[in-house]
Amino acid sequence: PHEGARVSRGGEGLGIVGTWYAPDVFHGRHCAIVLLLDDHGFSPLHWGCREGQANVVDMLMQRGARINATNRGDDTSLHLAAAHGHRDIVQMLLKQRADVNAVNEHGNTPLHYACFWEYEEVAEQLIAGGALVSIVNRYGETPLMKCRGRLSKRLEEFALKQGQDLKPVPFQDQSYLGMKTRSRDATLSRSRGIPLEELHLENRIGGSMRGDVWRGKWQGNDIVAKVLKVRELTPRLLRTFNDEFPKLRIFSHPNVLPVLGGCTEAPCVYVISQHVHYGSLFSVLHRDKGITVDGPQALHFASGVARGMAFLHSLEKDIPRVRLNSKHVMIDEERTALISMADAEFSFQEKAKLYDPQWVAPEALVKSPSEINVRSADMWSYAVLLWELSTRRIPFAQYTPMEAGMKIATEGLRVEIVPGISQHMNRLIRICMNEDPGKRPSFDQVIPILDKMKNAAKKAALGEGTNSNHGSVPRTPTTPRSPVIPVA
């Protein structure tokens, strides 16, 4: 309910921000830890502001945290600080030019919450900082209408002294797909690519905070359309999209799933790719997709991913990056692993939000992209994927993504080698997950090792091997184990 709630709430984030605060970890000017989100879209800055952790808030802002980033309820950090009466943090945010009149999904500004919870000094801070007492929320209420007793009159007089006009500012619904659009969007024509009228989107099959995924048809072919969330479809964004999406049309490698085309129709951006039979590798491993991923099949997937990544790393031209994890690897009807270029990150997408940190290299969580070796970071992600293939487990499933990311970066959390993984696969995972990025192998170096493991698995299937596991855990106890496979 909108009345009594102290803004949208996520999981238990206080411990994440307060307890794990390690200044020596946050040494870069821009640190990826500040971009982590929990399942409700709360960033560390949201939690620090909510819980009154002024030192943490100051550190996060120094490390590049986005002041006006919103959670799934469209609450900014200022909403949370005001709703919990943290005057010092409110002042810090105002000095950093926080949007004092930002509205959440209920149409409430930070001032609405300060008034409702009777934080008079916070309310005066906000008004002095430009907060309007006349903004009407979704329910027809101004901040002054949320006050009790004489507080409303005192704040009204204070606002008049600040020169405010008390004429109500009507609520404007801006919630469509989470996109903030302007009227001029209607004048934008479609960009080059696939005309929207040629797309027949049939049903939504997934989504995330970056956008929704639809299945449909294009020219009689089964396709998947990613509908990206953008705040405003500007001419500049159109130019950027039209420049970047053609770079993802990579048809020259059997382990890369290309983007077929792009489409822009205000207020949306569409990325079109071929529909694949089994969906993502994540779904194959952790949901019932009708594939028994035994040892040889796992090695086949691992080899395909390595070959696709080796090819992408060999390209000289600058292409948008695909963050490697099992959600961005597709499995077609021939059970071939394909790196999904539709999951690449465009330059116009928000860089202040990091998803799926369970697969991200620790150095990539504490440093800016310009300070890391991206190829070495991809190899770490590949090591986690190898572990996932070998165990059929979701990495760090006991933690929220935000908790996992913080623990990986600050507490040395790593995947555990469980019984059933052969010493050779164990060794390969550890080599790829070397704590020193400079000592991790390239994908070109990993491929021959996987080929030897695959060949040994084939011999084992023909009865030419010994009785031991070749590198992965069987799906069920009745699945026969395969022989040990020499790595070299």
| pLDDT beyond 70 at 472 | no
Instruction: State the Cα–Cα distance between residues 176 and 185, nearest whole angstrom.
Output: 14
Q: Is the pTM of this model over 0.85?
A: no
Cα(336)–Cα(23) distance, rounded to whole angstroms?
44
**Taking a C-beta distance cutoff of 8 angstroms, is the pair 262, 193 a contact?**
yes
Domains of the chain: 14-173 (1.25.40.20), 179-274 (3.30.200.20), 281-461 (1.10.510.10)
Average pLDDT, the chain: 82
Tokens of 396: 């760090």
**Distances, alpha carbon 27 to alpha carbons 59, 62, 67, 358, in Å:** 10, 10, 19, 21
Name the residue with higher pLDDT: 484 or 81. Answer: 81
The answer to whether 354 touches 38, Cβ cutoff 8 Å, is no
Average pLDDT over residues 187-212: 73
119-133, 182-196, 299-313, 446-460: the lowest-pLDDT one: 182-196
Give me the pLDDT at residue 436, please.
97
174, amino acid identity = Q
Q: Looking at 37-46, 307-316, 404-413, which range is the least confident one?
A: 37-46
> If pLDDT is split at 50, 70 and 90, which confidence band does 350 have?
low
Angle between helices 44-51 and 54-62 (to 10 degrees): 150
More confident site: 131 or 40: 131
Sign of CA dihedral 291, 294, 297, 298: positive
Q: Which residues of 48-60 are buried (b: 16+ CB within 10 A; e: fewer)?
A: bbbbbbbebbebb
pLDDT attached to residue 479: 33
Beta carbons of 107 and 138 less than 8 angstroms apart? yes
φ, ψ (nearest 5 deg) of residue 209: -70, -10
> Would you state the pLDDT for residue 476?
32
Average pLDDT over residues 280-308: 92
Residue 488 pLDDT > 80: no
pLDDT of residue 227: 93
189 near 336, Cβ under 8 Å?
no
CB atoms within 10 A of CB 197: 9
Residue 139's pLDDT is 87
pLDDT higher at 481 or 385: 385
Mean pLDDT of the region 368-396: 94
Least confident of 168-172, 175-179, 263-267, 428-432: 175-179
> What's phi and psi for 450, nearest 5 deg?
-65, -35
Nearest to 29 by CA among 359, 480, 285, 366: 366
Residue 52 has pLDDT above 70, yes or no: yes
Q: What is the largest CA-CA distance in the chain?
A: 89
178 vs 452, residue with greater confidence? 452
pLDDT band at residue 190 using 50, 70 and 90 as cut-offs: very low
Lowest-pLDDT range of 63-77, 101-115, 165-179, 303-317? 165-179
Q: How confident is the model at residue 352 (pLDDT cuts 50, 70, 90)?
A: low
Buried b / exposed e across 140-176, counting CB within 10 Å, b at 16+?
ebbbbbbbeeebbeebbebbeeeebeeeeeebeeeee
Q: Is residue 254 pLDDT above 50, yes or no?
A: yes
Q: Give the residue from 396, 409, 386, 408 showing the smallest Cα distance to 306.
A: 386
276 CB neighbour count, 10 Å cutoff = 18
Least confident range from 34-43, 63-72, 208-217, 354-363: namely 34-43
Q: Taking 60 as the threshold, does the pLDDT of residue 334 lie above it? A: yes
pLDDT at residue 235 in the model: 86
Instruction: Give the other-Cβ count within 10 Å of 23's Cβ.
Output: 8
On whether the CB atoms of residues 115 and 123 are closer than 8 A, the answer is yes
What burial letters (b/e) apply to 221-236, b meaning 16+ CB within 10 Å?
eebbbbbbbbeebeee
pLDDT above 90 for 239:
no
Tokens coding 441:
């192998």
Given this model, what pLDDT does residue 11 score? 41
CA distance 22 to 51: 17
Residue 31's pLDDT is 56
% the chain with pLDDT above 70: 81
